[in-house]
Amino acid sequence: MEKSMAINLLLFLCLISSFFLCNGVVIVPRSAAAAHRTVLEQRGGGPYETRYFTQTLDHFNYKPDGYMQFRQKYLVNDSFWEGRGSPIFVYAGSEASIEFIADNAGFVFDVAPSFKALLLFIEHRYYGESLPFGDVGNSSTLGYLSTAQALADYAALITDLKKNLSSEHSPVVAFGGSYGGMLAAWFRLKYPHVVIGSVASSAPILQFDDLVSPYTFIDIVTNDFKSESESCFKTIKNSWKEMDDALRQPGGPQKLGKAFKLCPGAKPKYVPSWISRAFIYGAMTDYPTASDFLTPLPAFPVKQSCTEMILIVRGSRNESMFPAESYDYQKQLAYCKEAYKISPRLHWITTEFGGHHIKRVLKRFGSNIIFFNGLRDPWSGGGVLKSINPSLIAIVAPQGAHHVDLRFATEQDPVWLQNVRRKEIQIISKWLKQYYEDSRI
């Protein structure tokens, strides 16, 4: 048993040789973002200027505390902008600091010169420095953390910025990936007078209760690994028991910690969950070129997941490479009540933004959204994989990973990825051309 465990642990280490485990965060050596910053500076283009906007805490009621304000951080790059009337490309911040988001949003930096666009990156409330109450918050303040409030933040900031620039007629195109992609899509649907179109990359807007199976996410992760190596798949599947057995043996936790080179103070009992997280991230970020995306992010940030973003992802079948686990919403509910003293609203997102019968519903009124999904990305199971009408366009890449289309272009990019970006550019160009033609009427 000891020899078998050692062999399997060595295979594990080979599989995740680029990862280190520290305090529950999967850390990958970083270099790409810094390199791209240098390229931008050599072009004379940035990367960006940091600014702050005085934002309203509550956009939807008239109670006195709703008029409270906080500083919302945003980044601007106007190196290529031609001024009044020229396009504004807005990147929707999500569950990270806005600098981290911008450093991994290379596509908009790459295309800004040809579109002569101003780049605007808006930090999501309750993340980075945009903290209404100076910290994460508690049960009495988390009520202001919602997608509706975040979208209203974006609308208010964009409208104010355009006035300050004396460029009220500049067309705005929104971009976002993952949760940010969901926001970009919903932004176009809720605020069509603010944004003329959106690129929603790897946006799982259907990853909610009654819309997708809770086992789809892990199924895709499993298939990613199984398609590369049946032996690898079997090794991973069999090793969970090996690790559990090791944790129960005298001296086993110490051996496990040493095998995985844990940082000082890290607890070996968490190794299985950290390893599963590493494999999930590996599937999400199965990019064709080197990447440093997701490195400082914890898995499934609870501040979304304990209010309304109840993404259905935690089920694992017997055939999965992970230990079998039935999806149980009650576990998440119990955690949220204990940690934050709040109960999630399971069905609110689909009530607020829709999702059921999406093709029939959006076919008649939705327009100008690109839904990109890479089928190697586990979030693609909750994405829009078929075009809904001529301007609600699904672009699907069988080899694609998590919003790979929005990353910086490199000389090593495969032809299929170049073609995806080329198609997105053509569609955005069409939106802008139509906007300027309509503006002359």
DSSP assignment of 151-215: HHHHHHHHHHHHHHTT-TT--EEEEEETHHHHHHHHHHHH-TTT-SEEEEET--TT-STTTS-TT
**Considering only 273-277, 347-351, 416-420, which range has the smallest mean pLDDT?**
273-277
Please, which pLDDT band fits residue 9 given cuts at 50, 70 and 90?
A: very low
Alpha-helical regions (H) of 194-347: 216-228, 230-248, 252-259, 271-284, 302-305, 329-340
Listed residue (374, 280, 262, 270) closest to 322, CA to CA: 280
Query: Do residues 160 and 53 lie in contact, with contact meaning Cβ atoms separated by under 8 Å?
Result: yes
Residue 79: band (very low, low, confident or very high) from pLDDT cuts 50, 70, 90: very high
Decide: 127 and 95 in contact? Cβ < 8 Å.
Answer: yes
Predicted confidence at residue 297, as pLDDT, reads: 40
Per-residue pLDDT of 152-161, as tens digits, reads: 999 999 999 9
**pLDDT at residue 255, rounded to an integer:** 87
pLDDT digits (tens, 9 = 90+) for 306-347: 889 889 988 999 999 999 999 988 888 898 888 888 888 899
Q: Residue 416 is encoded by which pair of tokens?
A: 């299929």
- Which pair of structure tokens corresponds to residue 2? 């000891």
pLDDT of residue 209: 86
- The pLDDT tens digits for 237-269 are 988 998 999 999 999 898 888 888 888 888 999
- Average of pLDDT values for 169-198? 98
Q: What's the whole-number average pLDDT of the chain? A: 86
**Kind of pairing between the strands at 369-374 and 392-397:** parallel
pLDDT top residue among 46 and 213? 213
Residue 231 to residue 214: CA distance in whole angstroms: 26
pLDDT of residue 291: 59
CB count in 10 Å sphere of residue 351: 11
User: What pLDDT band is residue 292 in, cutting at 50, 70 and 90?
Assistant: low
**Bridge partner residues of 52 (DSSP):** 73
Give 76's Cβ-side CA count (13 Å radius): 14
Query: How confident is the model at residue 383, as a pLDDT?
Result: 97
**Closest Cα to residue 396, out of 382, 388, 385?**
385
Nearest to 198 by CA among 397, 9, 384, 377: 384
CB-based contacts of 154-157 (< 8 A; 24+ apart in sequence): 154/90, 154/92, 154/122, 154/183, 154/187, 154/191, 154/194, 155/187, 155/191, 155/194, 156/55, 156/56, 156/59, 157/53, 157/55, 157/72, 157/74, 157/122
Residues 271-283 have a mean pLDDT of 87
The share of the chain scoring above pLDDT 70, in percent, equals: 85
Q: What is the pLDDT of residue 16?
A: 47
**What number is the average pLDDT over the span 36-49?**
61
* pLDDT above 80 for 42: no
Q: State the pLDDT confidence band at 74, using cuts at 50, 70 and 90.
A: very high
Q: How many CA atoms lie within 13 A of 346 on its CB side?
A: 9
Model pLDDT, residue 283: 86
Work out the average pLDDT over 32-57: 70
Mean pLDDT of 4-16: 45
Asked if residue 40 has pLDDT above 80, the reply is no
Q: What per-residue confidence (pLDDT) applies to 258?
A: 85
Q: What is the pLDDT of residues 373-417, one digit of tens each?
A: 999 999 999 999 999 999 999 999 999 999 999 999 999 999 999
Mean pLDDT of 74-78: 97
Residue 277 is predicted with a pLDDT of 87
- pLDDT interval class at 30 (50, 70, 90): very low
Does the structure show a pLDDT above 80 at 360?
yes
The answer to whether residues 96 and 107 touch, using CB atoms and an 8 Å cutoff, is no
pLDDT for residue 52:
98
3-state secondary structure of 386: coil
Instruction: Judge contact between 246 and 255, C-beta under 8 A.
Output: yes
Within 8 A by CB and 6+ apart from 257, the residues are 266, 268, 271
Strands 172-177 and 118-122: unpaired
Confirm if 231 and 239 have CB atoms less than 8 A apart.
no
Q: Provide the β-strand partners of residue 122.
A: 74, 92
* Buried/exposed code over 392-431 (b: 16+ C-beta within 10 A; e: otherwise): bbebbbeebbbbbbbbbbeeebeeebeebbeebeebbeeb
DSSP 124: P
Task: Look at residue 21 in the predicted model and tell me its pLDDT.
Answer: 45
Confidence bin at 120 (pLDDT 50/70/90): very high
Q: Which residues are catalytic?
A: 178, 377, 402
